[in-house]
Structure 1
């Protein structure tokens, strides 16, 4: 507490743990089980409660509601947790709920994430590193979001859905099926529209690796045979390619949701 700066209008419970250099602006509330890492900043009017840990360097903006009980009628006050990683930016009116007994007791936000104004992450969802959620994005309960995923404004994700690493979701899209790693989806209900080539190039993926990934995409989402047969063929044909194998493993993994596919055969990518 000695190196933390707390505005006199804020309420910090005696049990809260504040790291070195923490800054708590005016009219904030910090609950008794909250842990704020070094150099965390609550700009003003933020509420942090529950069994919540916020990683070093994260900034939380006005009217964010972090760690309060989940919006799940099956929640009965269990001491579930919320973990937020380092160097995240959580903008105005963002809501993030902790886990529930029925979902693993944990909600997690990775490192270096940006959650823009009014975004929501529901109970038991696991968000990877460097994820960007534009304004009004809604992630329902029990979702799994990979690293480096970007969500356009007002897009939403159905509960129990997976979104693979490096995927891109267009604005106003409703994602009600699993979106493959490196994939791009747009629409309500969303369909797979190709690979996230812009993201792959920005993150400096090798040109030849991208070409192999495109070839595998065309094979997996062609109109011949079943999806499982096409995935198995791609697994054999590109057995030494790590990116393709990531997509294959994602599709073959057990899931509660269907895999998003193109509406009319392979999309242009």
Structure 2
């Protein structure tokens, strides 16, 4: 039987797996669906059209599925979809989407989201990401798998942060961050390849060599972006083709220019 604390308020229309745990004074709305073994901490508010997967842990006082902080939002029905095995710490806020995109804010699986993180409307967060305390993602931000975003960082709307990238503490991110790179400072700039993170994920020496060559071409040789992309294509066949393709796909869809 679902373990719902006596002080929690769960709308009878909400759909909770029988193994879900709901803590004291939590509030769960009528259009919420929560998967197996997920734990909802005390004083959490889960509202809106929100779907949460399995094995998630929401610590106390988070507001999940709240209305978009968008003045053009006209109370249209939009959604928040959260994957599996995410850990969300205290006082986090996740908004539903808007009809400016597909109407869905998406959070992947296996993410570690620290206290006071804000995910605005239409954010797409990948898998295995780490968002440190106070990170704020504005509307329409996309974050690739395995990215790390430092504490007190603000990310401008529509920015894309590539897979395996690392954003330093208290960064002001107003342009796209290329995959595999570490960015830091004010003004923000690319410092190096995120080698520590890549080695932890068992990237082979051949892949690391190709990624370092891409870094050099894009950020250390005064090439235009188109020239760098052409040179990057010549690196194929050296053991890092999947990384080259990921980089090229990211650059194709980049709209706000790159942090250089």
Q: TM-score range by the shorter chain?
A: over 0.9
For residues 53-79 of structure 1, the C-alpha deviation after alignment (integer angstroms, 9 at most, x for no partner) is 111110111110000101000111111
**Bigger shift: 210-219 or 40-49?**
210-219
Q: Separation in 2 of the partners of 1:72 and 1:82?
A: 15
Deviation at 1:223?
A: 3.6
CA contact (8 A) 1:221 1:227 kept: no
Question: Could you tell me the TM-score, scaled by structure 1's length?
Answer: 0.93
Give the 5 Å matches for 1:123-138. Answer: 123-138=121-136
Which SS does the other structure have where 1:194 is aligned?
A: strand
Q: Which residue of 1 aligns with 2:244?
A: 244
User: Pick from 37, 40, 43: which aligns with 1:42?
Assistant: 40
| Distance apart, 1:49 and its partner CA | 0.1
Q: Find the counterpart in structure 2 of residue 97 from structure 1.
A: 95
Q: Identify which range, 234-243 or 147-156, moves more after superposition.
A: 234-243
Aligned to 1:220: 218
- Distance between the aligned counterparts of 1:97 and 1:30, measured in 2? 15
Within 5 Å, give how 1:15-164 maps onto structure 2: 15-164=13-162
The alignment yields a C-alpha RMSD, in angstroms, of: 1.2
Segments of 4+ in structure 1 off by > 6 A? none
Task: Structure 2 unaligned segments of length 5 or more: list them.
Answer: none
SS in 2 for 1:52: strand
Note if contact 1:36-1:53 (Cα within 8 Å) is conserved in structure 2.
yes
8 Å CA contact 2:26, 2:43 repeated in 1:
yes
Structure 1 residue matching 2:190: 3-state secondary structure: strand
Deviation at 1:224, TM superposition (A): 4.1
* Distance in 2, Cα, partners of 1:204 & 1:258: 30
2:196 to 194, 198, 201: 198
Q: Distance in 2 between matches of 1:79 and 1:120?
A: 20
C-alpha distance in 2 between matches for 1:134 and 1:101:
29
SS of alignment partner, residue 189 of structure 1: coil
Is this contact kept in 2: 1:176–1:189, CA < 8 A?
Answer: no
Q: Distance in 2 between matches of 1:204 and 1:154?
A: 29
C-alpha separation in 1, matches of 2:132 and 2:247: 25
CA distance in 2: counterparts of 1:220 and 1:150, whole angstroms: 21
* Preserved CA contact (<8 Å) 2:52 2:82: yes
Structure 1 162/239 Cα, relative in aligned 2: closer, same or farther at 3 Å?
Answer: farther
- Going from structure 1 to structure 2, the CA distance change for 1:225 and 1:188 (only over 3 Å counts) comes to closer
Would the aligned equivalents of 2:44 and 2:62 in 1 still touch at CA under 8 Å?
yes
> Could you report, residue by residue, the CA deviation over 1:213-233 in whole angstroms, capped at 9, with x for unpaired residues?
111221222344422112112
1:257 is matched with which residue? 256
How far does the alpha carbon of each residue in 1:12-66 deviate from its partner, in whole angstroms, 9 at most, with x for none? 0111000121110100000000001111111211000000011111011111000
Report the Cα distance in structure 1 between the residues aligned to 2:217 and 2:128, rounded to whole angstroms.
30
